[in-house]
A = this chain, B = another copy of it.
Amino acid sequence: MKSAQQSVFKALADPTRRSILKVLQKGSLTAGDIALKFPMTRASLSHHFNVLKVADLVRTERRGQHIVYSLNTTVFQEMTQMLMELFASDAEDNERSKPQ
């Protein structure tokens, strides 16, 4: 089971994804427009978009042929709260029996 918290931290762990978020701060963009700004294939970027979507850090909207990516506007609040809660329970994943 993957907590929302975990998916957000994972998403933020990659510099390309943080950079995508930064770009989107200036305004929503289509996948293609974002792609112009990054030195990798659209397929690779699509993977990153998906990670950001799973973490609910971005939202999408189809506009004709294009898909427009936007920052989830609650992202900062969420992240701030997440920091406050950084140290709240999030390690249920570790509930295994002790080895050795």
Which residues of A approach B to under 8 Å, CB–CB? 3, 6, 9-10, 12-13, 15-16, 18-19, 21-22, 25, 38-41, 76, 79-80, 83, 86-88, 90-91, 93-100
Partner of A96, one of B10, B39, B86, B99: B39
What number of copies of this chain does the assembly contain? 2
In whole Å, how far is A83's beta carbon from the nearest beta carbon of chain B? Answer: 6
A-B contact pairs, 25 of them (CB 8 A): A3-B15, A9-B18, A12-B13, A12-B86, A15-B90, A15-B93, A16-B91, A18-B86, A18-B87, A18-B91, A19-B90, A21-B86, A22-B86, A22-B87, A22-B88, A22-B91, A38-B94, A39-B94, A39-B95, A39-B96, A40-B94, A40-B98, A76-B83, A80-B80, A83-B83
Provided the pairs A38-B94, A41-B99 are in contact, do residues A13 and B15 lie with their beta carbons within 8 angstroms? no
In the A-B complex, the 3 residue pairs with the closest CB atoms: A22-B87, A13-B13, A19-B91
